[in-house]
Structure 1
Amino acid sequence: MKSALLIIDVQRGLFDPLPHPYEADAVVDRINQLSIRAREAGMPVMMVQHERLGSALAHGSEGWQLQEDLLVTAGDIMVRKTTPDAFLRTPLAELLVQHGVSRLVICGYATEFCVDTTTRRAAALGYPVVLAADAHTTHDKAHATALQIRTHHNATLPDITSFGPEIVALPTAEIAFQ
């Protein structure tokens, strides 16, 4: 089963301003560990970047750029998006087919928006998903801390069975690329 690593919205405009996302540095480090292992196994690494006109995430702006500590190589595949769903109005589905991908490993930002929506859409499209349980993050919200949000999603997304493909949440150290 060929996997692809999908790194969602690890961008300067989301990671640099204070307060930083929960465990921002540790999350980027874990994402880097995953990307190194994926590349070594010959699996595609896909960087998804959110963009919104007139905001800190305007295409090409400083905030739109990938986070400075994120390891990026010339062989990585870049995908631009404008909604929380990395598949909607993007070439992602076509790219996965072109690369023969049959499973996704998902990590990045924001747990309750883009990570959640893309995970659900991937499963709905027939892709088994491994959610990197300690390599996605968000900011604290008025109703819940970022840790509570991440814990909630790690527990509930794998409970969704109606799509058919399995969604599992695993720590970075347990995720293998074969």
Structure 2
Amino acid sequence: MHRWAIPEREYARQEARRGRRHAYESLDPSRTALLVVDLVPFFFEANPICAAITPNVRLLADALRGAGGAVAWIVPGDPGPTTWAREFLGEDIAEMFRHSSGDGPIAGRLGPGLEARDGDLLVEKTATSALFPGSSTLHDQLRERGIENVVVTGTLTEVCVAGTARDAATLGYRTILVADATAGRDDDSHNATLTTIYRTFGDVRSTKDVLELVSTGVLS
């Protein structure tokens, strides 16, 4: 698990700005979705922290389902052999990432220890962010369910998780990134991303905090 932290100066900055440490101190679970980004075997094999966060992701998914919320499993899709990817990543790496999610139904592509249930949303994305226009059906599915709050988990913290969280905030969702249910490349990259999200785009909470919000609607 990452040794995560946000600098105290950032907490102080937000407290001075809005009068409280956290933007969102209450939550309606029935209008909340857990977004699980890119937790597929390809990334489990590359990063052991994916396995470490899996129990927390399961806890959050079970809690939200039980409280009437939604769970969205988001996996990488194949954007095709784009000119950008071939030039930026190189032919071999671009081809590798095109097929990083594997084949078959989305529910069967999840990493070890993760399981979609009836009623969960299953989403394939073709861009870094699952909420970038045209990259997936996620935004439409969330709107159909009346979702106002998104709780973002998954991997990599600094890439697809951050991209999805930023676009969620841009679209007006009350956005919470879960610090101990996301996996980055290393602690420094992870914590730098947490700080940026907390400073500019959304809240950053622990699994324990989010479970309390889902259970009671408020954080004591």
Which category describes the TM-score, using the shorter chain as reference length?
0.7 to 0.9
Pairing partner for 2:50 from 24, 45, 48: 24
What letter is aligned with 1:49?
Answer: V
> Do the aligned partners of residues 102 and 66 (structure 1) sit closer, same or farther apart at CA in structure 2, a change above 3 Å counting?
same
Shift of 1:51: 2.1
Identify, as 1 or 2, the structure richer in helix: 2
| Runs of 4+, deviation exceeding 4 Å | none
CA contact (8 A) 1:131 1:170 kept: yes
User: How many residues were matched structurally?
Assistant: 163
- SS of 1:130's equivalent in the other structure is strand
Pairing partner for 1:5 from 34, 55, 60: 34
Shift of 1:58: 5.2
Residue 46 (structure 1) aligns with: 72
**Percent identity (aligned):** 25
What letter is aligned with 1:126?
Answer: G
Shift of 1:149: 1.3
Instruction: Give me the whole-angstrom Cα distance separating, in 2, the residues matched to 1:12 and 1:65.
Output: 7
| Pairs within 5 Å for 1:166-177 | 167-175=202-210, 176-177=213-214
Instruction: Give me the whole-angstrom Cα distance separating, in 1, the residues matched to 2:187 and 2:47.
Output: 10
Q: TM-score, normalised by structure 2?
A: 0.69
Q: Is 1:109 equivalent to 2:155 in the alignment?
A: yes
Query: Looking at CA atoms only, which structure, 1 or 2, has the larger radius of gyration?
Result: 2
Unaligned runs of 5+ in 2: 1-27, 81-94
The C-alpha deviation readout for 1:102-155, integer Å capped at 9, x for no partner, is 01000001111101111110000011101011111123xxxxxx1111111112
What letter is aligned with 1:95?
Answer: Q
Residue 131 (structure 1) aligns with: 177
After superposition, the CA RMSD in angstroms is 1.9
Unaligned runs of 5+ in 1: 140-145, 162-166
Shift of 1:24: 2.4
Shift of 1:22: 4.9
- SS of 2:208's equivalent in the other structure is helix
